[in-house]
Structures are given as structure tokens and as C-alpha cells.
């Protein structure tokens, strides 16, 4: 009975670890980045997507994900650059195009200064 339980426990632990067993692969970094992004851990997600981009510089999906994570972390200038890279690689990808369009709309409004106040710092 004890042996059975030990074997089961070892197999469960090993199984759970296999999900991210190849950190050298861009896909592993993307998968883990996505996992943490969904939990709202955007800085960790940005780090993972950055790793993915370094491992696969021509992967438009990795650039897109990095752009989203940078946007969520407030680094808009870099997010813009990453969206552009993603679109350069895969110009016909509708998801990337939609993300870029929405981001561009937000970023234009964000950077626009519409007023001035004499007492402002």
C-alpha cells in the first residue's frame, strides 16, 4: 500500500514538472508566460516572453505576447516596437492586427496632450 502511494506521488510530481520541462525552447517560455499572464503576473510574463523572443527572434507570436505583457506593465514605447516587429513577421495575422489596432488607439489618446495649466508642475 505504501509502495503504491509513493509510486503515485512520484509520478504526479514528475508529470506536473514535465509541462515546463524544456526551458530552452521558446514554446515552453511562451506557455509559461501565458500561464502567469492569465494570473495577472505581467512582469513575470514579460520576462518569459522576452526569453522566448531571444530564443526565436522570428516568432511573431512571441513578439505579440511580449508586446501585450509590456503594455500591461505600462512600458508602452517598447510595446509599440514589439507589436510592429510581430506585424513585420506575420502581417496577415488577424489577432496581431487587432491587438495592434486597439493598442494604437489607446496609445494615440495616451500620448496626446490636450490642455495646459499655468500652475502645473
Partner 1 sequence: MLRNAIRRAGAATLTLALAASPALAGVDQVKLRLPLRPKLPLRGNERIALAPFILVSDPEKAKDKRLANIDVQAEFHRFLKKQLEKKTKFDVIETPPDVKLPTQNLSDLARAQEFWAAVGTQTSAELIVSGSLEFRVEDRSGYKSEEYTSPIDGRQYTRQVYVEQTGYVFDIVFLVLDGRTGEKLLQDEFKDFRQTGSKQRDELTGLFENLFSLENQILNTFVPRDREAERYIFTD
Binding residues for partner 1, rule: CB under 8 A, are 3-4, 7-8, 11-12, 14-16, 18-20, 27, 30-32, 34-35, 37-38, 42, 61-62, 64-65, 68, 71-72, 74, 95-96, 98-99, 102-103, 106, 109-110, 113-121
Is residue 40 within a helix (H) or strand (E), and if so which, with residue range? none
Is residue 52 a contact partner of residue 30, using CB atoms and an 8 Å limit?
yes
C-beta neighbour count of 93 within 10 angstroms: 16
Give the burial class of 55: count Cβ atoms within 10 A of its Cβ; 0-12 exposed, 13-18 middle, 19 or more buried: middle
**Residue nearer to partner 1 on the CB measure, 85 or 103:** 103
Least distance (Å) between residue 41 CB and partner 1: 12
Whole-number minimum distance, CB 21 to partner 1, in Å? 10
Least CB distance to partner 1 at residue 61 (A): 4
How far apart (Å, rounded) are the C-alpha atoms in residues 24 and 20? Answer: 10
Amino acid at each position: 500500500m505504501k509502495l503504491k502511494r509513493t509510486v503515485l506521488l512520484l509520478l504526479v510530481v514528475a508529470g506536473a514538472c514535465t509541462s515546463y520541462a524544456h526551458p530552452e525552447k521558446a514554446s515552453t517560455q511562451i506557455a509559461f508566460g501565458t500561464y502567469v499572464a492569465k494570473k495577472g503576473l505581467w512582469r513575470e510574463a514579460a520576462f518569459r516572453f522576452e526569453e522566448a523572443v531571444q530564443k526565436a527572434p522570428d516568432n511573431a507570436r512571441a513578439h505579440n505576447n511580449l508586446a501585450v505583457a509590456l503594455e500591461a506593465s505600462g512600458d508602452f514605447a517598447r510595446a509599440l516596437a514589439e507589436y510592429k516587429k510581430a506585424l513585420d513577421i506575420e502581417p496577415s495575422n488577424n489577432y496581431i492586427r487587432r491587438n495592434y489596432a486597439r493598442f494604437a488607439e489607446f496609445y494615440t489618446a495616451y500620448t496626446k496632450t490636450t490642455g495646459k495649466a499655468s500652475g502645473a508642475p
